[in-house]
Amino acid sequence: MAKEIAVCENGAGAVAALAATTQITKYRREQGIWEVAGVLPISIGDIGAVADLRRAVARVMELLGGCRILVASSFIGAAAYHLERCGIHLWESPDADLFSLDDILSKDEADMDQSKTPEPKENFITDLGDGIYQVSLTEIQRQNGTVTSKQVLMPILSAGTFYELRIDCCHVPPWLEGELAGGRFDSRLESVSAGLSKFRLYLTRKTCAGGL
């Protein structure tokens, strides 16, 4: 069975951030060989109007067809949120020199296997007391690339058993932006390292339902 992956690319054909993409190329692997299966010239970063954004996402979905994997060096913004809501698996590959379609496919298949388990066995959340918890997505993904931010955070977000949750990250995951848009939590994002993409996201609740 053929495997497909779509990649956000810049003018030089290298993997690019979704906001800096000039084209999306769909690759298909048959008999172990990756070949171009489709190309969509598109610039999402300059789109501001909601209607235009929806049309752009629809064009991307038309290109993807049955493909459910999209790769970029980073995913930030409303377009990423809409793509994820459409069931697209968003994979970041910040280092163009280490980018490999086979590696992305292997990680996606492993993630699909792990998604059958409700949450990772290891508890990555640190209890600071008084209903305050902290987690470093940056450190988790550095130590264990098979664990996703959603696997770590969804159990505590769903339970709502915290007053404040502090999340260290290099960016806010698109799926989490969608959760915040629902208005369940107050949020505040602060830069913790000048010149580097390191942030701390504070999520707070007005009442605390108990400990974790």
Residue ranges per domain, the chain? 3-114, 126-204
Mean pLDDT of 75-82: 81
**What pLDDT digit, counting tens, does each position of 121-135 carry?**
456 788 888 888 999
Just give the CATH number of 126-204.
3.30.110
Same fold, 3-114 and 126-204: no
Print burial letters for 65-94: b (CB count within 10 Å at least 16), e (below 16): eebebbbbbbbbbbbbbbbbeeebbbbbbe
**What pLDDT digit, counting tens, does each position of 173-203 carry?**
888 887 787 777 889 999 887 666 788 999 9
Strands lying side by side in the sheet with 33-41: 33-41, 23-30, 3-9, 69-72, 89-92
pLDDT at 5 exceeding the cut of 50: yes
How far apart are the C-alpha atoms of 13 and 47, rounded to whole Å?
21
List Cα–Cα distances, 3 to 24, 30, 87, 150, in angstroms: 17, 7, 16, 24
In contact, 192 and 198? CB cutoff 8 Å: yes
Amino acid at 46: D
pTM (whole model) above 0.85:
no
Show the tokens assigned to 5.
């992956």
**What pLDDT digit, counting tens, does each position of 127-181 carry?**
888 888 999 988 887 776 667 888 888 888 877 778 899 999 888 888 888 778 7
pLDDT band at 211 (very low <50, low <70, confident <90, very high): very low
Phi, psi angles (nearest 5°) of residue 156: -75, -35
Any idea which fold 3-114 has? Nucleotidyltransferase; domain 5 (3.30.420)
pLDDT band at 59 (very low <50, low <70, confident <90, very high): very high
How far apart are the C-alpha atoms of 164 and 70, rounded to whole Å?
33
